Structures are given as structure tokens and as C-alpha cells.
Structure 1
């Protein structure tokens, strides 16, 4: 009986200590698809498109267009690695990839942070039906982006 109890405690501790799991990553599946930006300036459009590449990995692309000209592009990933999930941004003006660690996750959103990045330091994705609000913040600034699923 003591051995059984010890084993249960050990398994529970291992699950707690392991950080985010495959089950946590599955909570992100709602993000798959194309999200059209709805709060753009006149003459501009934009979107984010996400696809599941394999268990524990998703690939995204964010574009902002002025007419037919691309004015902003970012390549994105959600990646399970080292018992954590990371939101990885590859933006042209940055020399290296930026890794934002997911600090909270639910069935309708997530928060990720990199306290050492200039801006943003925090990114929050919030799902409400077929609408998505993405908030980037840091250094006393905050910007909201609104999307609808195509």
C-alpha cells in the first residue's frame, strides 16, 4: 500500500513538474484556419493563417497589405519544446527569432510573454465565437487587433 501511494505521488509530481503537455497544445486547435483582420486602416487589409504541421507544432503567417502591396509580414510558430509551449515570431526587422513562452492557456485563448523583448513583451489571444482579439503590450503601450474567422 505504501509503495502504491508513493507511486501515485511520484506520478502526480512528475505530471505537475513537466510543465505544459500535449493536452495543453491540443487546446490551441481552434486557431487553425484563416483569420481576417477587421480593424485595419482604409485601403489596408490583413490576416493571420494557421495550420497544424504535426503534434506539438503549428505554423502561422501574418500579413498586412496596402492595396496589393505587402507592408508587413511575420512568420509564426506555436511549438512544444522543453516541457513548455512557445509562440515564435520571425519578423523582418528582428535579426533573430523571438520566443514568447506561453504563461497561460485555456480552450479559448492563451497568453505568452518574453520580458526581455523590446516590444511586445506580452501577447494575448482571446477567442469569442468566430471572433479573435489579439493584444500586444509592453513598456506601457498596448495595441489590439481584431479578427474574424474566414
Structure 2
């Protein structure tokens, strides 16, 4: 169950994206303001994990449902069988993004709140669980990288887009 939650969290982090635009506000002091536009469109599509353990293949598939919702599924296959699966949603409500991760045997999803949004880098956290407490995603070239971690441990993920 912990491996599935790690994988799900990794997917969530991939879902986060932000672009910053700078608008000049003219007043008597001529200040500049930064307007943040958040979307996770870069996450949509099908992704394959490159650094999976031998004998396993892991994938994430993401769709944009609306401007305020993205839906994902993560799964791992071993010897032709699905050995783990998780459903993920990234939802914006009242200007705040939340990552929801649900395993098939759980009644309620685990919630992660957004802690940081930068250009091509996102962090979600949940301090009420042991692992992972932090999910981080970022773009590096054509790949998406992620880590899930707590104070004692960090697991890296690397994904490439597939057709």
C-alpha cells in the first residue's frame, strides 16, 4: 500500500504546473505585480517510469477534465498482471490546489495540499501521514522527475512521455 501511495503522490506532483506573468501596475509609486497562472496541462498524456525496478513497468495517464480538475491513474505491471493501481485527482477550489490519491481498497482518498508552486516545480504535503509527507515534481528537458519523501527517506521517479 505504501508503494502505491508513493506512486500516486509522484503522479500528483507531475500534475502541478505554473506559469508566471508579470504585469506592471502604474500608480504613484510604479509597482510591479506578479500574476500567477496555474495549470497542469503539461502533465496530460501517457507517461512511463524509466527508473522502475527490474521486472516491473509503471505508467501514469493524465486527462484534463476542466480548468480546475485533472484526473490521473497510475499502475504497475509485473509478469503481465497489474500489481498496484491508484486514482489521482488534482482539484482547484477557492484558489487552492489539492492532490487526492485513492487506492482501490480505501474508502476515502488521501489529501495533499499545495505548499509551493514555481515555474516547472511543484510541492504538495500532508504532515498527518508517515510516508510520504512531501511530493515534489519538476520538468527536466523532455522528462518529468519527482520525489516522494519524509524526514528520513526519499524515493526518486523519472518519467518519459509515450504515444
Question: For this structure pair, what is the TM-score category when the shorter chain's length is used for normalisation?
Answer: 0.7 to 0.9
In the alignment, what sits opposite 1:9? none
Deviations 1:83-105 (A, max 9, x none): 31011100245442111111111
TM-score (norm 1): 0.79
**Contact 1:119-1:139 within 8 A present in 2 as well:** no
Instruction: Return structure 1 stretches of 4+ with deviation > 4 angstroms.
Output: none
Name the structure where strand makes up a greater proportion of residues.
2
Instruction: Select the structure with the greater relative contact order (CA < 8 A; seq sep ≥ 6).
Output: 2
How far apart are 1:138 and its partner, in Å? 1.2
Deviations 1:20-72 (A, max 9, x none): x7x22x2x211111110111122210111111001100000111110211111
Gaps of 5+ in 2: 1-26, 28-32
In the alignment, what sits opposite 2:159? 147
1:124 matched to 2:136 = yes
RMSD (Å), alpha carbons = 2.1
- Residue in structure 1 matching 2:122, options 110, 118, 121: 110
How far apart are 1:149 and its partner, in Å? 1.2
Work out the CA distance in 1 between the residues paired with 2:76 and 2:70.
20
Work out the CA distance in 1 between the residues paired with 2:160 and 2:148.
18
Aligned residues: 131
In the alignment, what sits opposite 2:61? 49
**Contact 1:45-1:67 within 8 A present in 2 as well:** no
Name the structure where helix makes up a greater proportion of residues.
1
In the alignment, what sits opposite 1:98? 110
TM-score (norm 2): 0.73
Larger radius of gyration: 1
Work out the CA distance in 1 between the residues paired with 2:121 and 2:61.
16
